[in-house]
């Protein structure tokens, strides 16, 4: 019953779409049920939202053809509100299943402010995963109450035990 997930484009997302697709195809062939893809944050920050959306769409198409979920990691620690608004549109237009706050390798992990901005700008049923820095049951519950359907943490046992 355990689902297998792996990440492509890790940790910085700066490689080509072709390289990310190659990684994703290999992971799916090896049994991955979900793919977490790191966007090219540099392209987003330079205003090239079209590139970001096309890249997400390519990975979404590849994943969905194999009935695999795609989560898109956007590294909110580097983004302004305008960038978050733009990437929310790109994620939804491209057909990804989830938007995810971070890899855990950025300047910080998730924040409740990030989640509030996702909720503000997401217009469809895109799910939200908060990841990075969530270490207590109380924090996890705050993120769930804020609208997250998944939590990424290295403190899972501690959180479950309360």
**Under 8 Å between Cβ of 90 and 49:** yes
**Under 8 Å between Cβ of 74 and 109:** no
Q: Residue 75, exposed/middle/buried by CB under 10 A (0-12, 13-18, 19+)?
A: buried
- What is the C-alpha to C-alpha distance for residues 109 and 74, in angstroms, rounded to an integer? 11
Out of 36, 83, 97, 114, pick the active-site residue.
36
Out of 71, 97, 114, 129, pick the active-site residue.
129
Out of 97, 100, 114, 139, pick the active-site residue.
100
- Per the annotation, the verdict on 18 as an active-site residue is no
> How would DSSP label each residue in 48-66?
-HHHHHHHHHHHHHHHHHT
- Per the annotation, the verdict on 100 as an active-site residue is yes
Instruction: Kindly give, in sequence order, each residue whose CB lies less than 8 Å from that of residue 135, ignoring residues fewer than 6 positions away.
Output: 153, 155, 158, 159
Dihedral sign (CA 8, 122, 44, 148): negative
- Per the annotation, the verdict on 36 as an active-site residue is yes
Annotated catalytic residues are 36, 100, 129
């Amino acid at each position: 019953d355990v689902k297998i997930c792996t990440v492509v484009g890790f940790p910085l997302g700066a490689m080509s779409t072709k390289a990310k697709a190659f990684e994703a195809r290999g992971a799916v062939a090896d049994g991955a049920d979900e793919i977490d893809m790191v966007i090219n944050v540099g392209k987003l920050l330079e205003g090239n939202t079209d590139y970001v959306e096309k890249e997400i769409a390519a990975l979404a198409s590849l994943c969905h053809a194999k009935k695999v979920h795609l989560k898109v990691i956007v590294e909110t620690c580097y983004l302004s509100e305008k960038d978050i608004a733009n990437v929310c549109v790109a994620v939804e237009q491209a057909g990804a299943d989830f938007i995810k706050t971070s890899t855990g390798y950025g300047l910080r992990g998730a924040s409740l402010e990030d989640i509030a901005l996702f909720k503000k700008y997401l217009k469809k049923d895109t799910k939200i995963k908060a990841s990075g820095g969530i270490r207590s049951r109380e924090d996890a519950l705050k993120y769930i109450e804020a609208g997250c359907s998944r939590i990424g943490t290295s403190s899972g046992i501690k959180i479950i035990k309360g």
